[in-house]
């Protein structure tokens, strides 16, 4: 088990320091990040917390998964390793030769 945790269901007003404080009751928090929309800067309602040991991470999952933060139920589990993103989904719909299929318009 890794030390990095996914935290979902965050209140949109939650800050990284609040996230760090919440998890610090269960061990040493190496880092806490709230993920924000890169255009609006608004929280996307989830984040990541890195604990210093796998045991602390496991304790935090046990204690905090399903718990309440400002009226929202948290989902806390082991973060999946980030997969290398494929290069944009294969070029975005360039199948066939253009939009004018079927010949000329009938006017």
CATH assignment at residue 73: 3.30.70.330
Residue 16 belongs to a domain: yes
pTM of the model: 0.74
Q: Binning pLDDT at 50, 70 and 90, where does residue 105 land?
A: low
Residue 98 belongs to a domain: no
Residue 85 belongs to a domain: no
Residue 29 belongs to a domain: yes
Write the CB contacts of 2 (distance below 8 Å, at least 6 apart in sequence).
54, 57, 78, 79, 81
CA 24, CA 90: separation in Å to the nearest integer? 42
Residue 96 belongs to a domain: no
How many distinct structural domains can be found in the chain?
Answer: 1
Of 97 and 6, the structure prediction assigns the larger pLDDT to 6
Residue 71 belongs to a domain: yes
Task: Supply the range of the domain harboring residue 71.
Answer: 4-78
Q: Binning pLDDT at 50, 70 and 90, where does residue 81 land?
A: confident
Residue 83 belongs to a domain: no
Residue 36 belongs to a domain: yes
- Section 49-67 average pLDDT: 97
């Amino acid at each position: 088990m890794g030390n990095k945790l996914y935290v979902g269901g965050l209140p949109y007003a939650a800050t990284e320091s609040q996230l760090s404080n919440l998890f610090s009751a269960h061990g040493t928090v190496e880092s806490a990040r709230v993920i924000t929309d890169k255009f609006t800067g608004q929280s996307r309602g989830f984040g990541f917390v890195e604990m210093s040991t796998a045991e602390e991470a496991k304790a935090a999952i046990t204690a905090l998964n399903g718990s309440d933060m400002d009226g929202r139920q948290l989902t806390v589990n082991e973060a999946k390793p980030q997969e290398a993103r494929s290069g944009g989904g294969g070029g975005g719909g360039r199948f066939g030769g253009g939009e004018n299929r079927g010949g000329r318009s009938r006017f």
